[in-house]
Structure 1
């Protein structure tokens, strides 16, 4: 049995075991980026995630949808161990990158968070210049040292974030002086400057106006050529526009996970159909 057939059968078996439809679009053949198996999480006595199983594929946008409080952001934070910063959190199960569980004791959390960047709901630029917002982390990770290399990296990151033309003449002004949409793109530039494999976005456009939202959505479509993107959104139209795959969360479980076209045109579960069509949530 070759590896592709084995992967298809494993995906099918996992999907059947968890009650989800087969999650991979076989015509596309994407490589695996993150594999999550039997992931559960508790905040103290409250269980927020229940046996989550999902495969996230490289250089795609995966959207996480579902009602408020259903575990989407909690799950997102599991991918780069940001839940470690919260007291009384307990985790079971595996979150694998390159076959290694990110929760294993020997995992370097700083190195993990360089590989798995984060863009938050509210733009949070550092209280530094636009230039330093982008250059600071790569310098701390020893990715660049010479001034010329820093200049090149800052320009490339700002270009990739669609911000260079707007800020190239004011790189030494505070990042906080930018508009909300520009600040969010600066945060994206900051995330991609350290050359991550995965970018996590927790409702990145919910605080933005429609024009800035459209700009970020266009940017996500361009960035997925280089990075794997996992985004939380409450906007069904946005998920349909930007995502290649969509996972529907409800009460800490993944009820359905499929390629987005199938999810929105022919959902396999009544709960997913009711949520997508606005009957609840």
Structure 2
């Protein structure tokens, strides 16, 4: 019971600090708005003190915290991804390497983060995030964004523990099938009627995950979806700079992500459901790929 209560305090602490930073407020400013002293906010953000129901409701109103934030475990407004290159995001100063062309939401890489935390441990996760010059609370806001440099460095870190390749992506991305990797969007997926419907719902919300490329659904049949993925003009130089081998590796990770996500535990899923099959072309001269998803 004590562990469960402490877990709740820690979740609340992370959400309050994240929301406060996102709102551009100091602890003192928030305290003044609530009519409490600064040390009260400090203790809440350290996971020492639980806010009263009254103060929690007031914080939700002031900081625009969604009502289901505690149960979801993240701050999540499911906004559309916009390519960013500014110095700050969500009240956090970003390392120079991770500022330019941020086109990937935390939501998109959450399965990788969950893999690190579950397989390598929270202490290892916190250590690597610190070494990368980032704060753990940055990753509580699923609408915050990272760039390809951050994703590359995160995969490089995982490479110290296991080889990172197309085969390894199957274990690294297994958490894509869990609701905890999708924030508030999990409520949309929970009511899917089947794998095709599940994947359609994902693609309709793909801009809430990333904006490196646009996904256009070309055709939907009983057991098949055909798509076109077009890389945005702003992102093309980045793909050229990382090289074709790295680009193909990242694309293979996205294919695996789709396969693992297809096993999401939606309402009517049959226990024997298998991964969808994903076939895609090489990137063409227009920086696009054609994709076919088939339910086995």
Q: TM-score, normalised by structure 2?
A: 0.24
Higher strand share: 1
In terms of Rg, which structure is larger? 2
User: Per chain length, whose mean CA-contact separation is higher, i.e. which structure has more relative contact order (CA < 8 Å, sep 6+)?
Assistant: 1
TM-score, length-normalised on structure 1?
A: 0.25
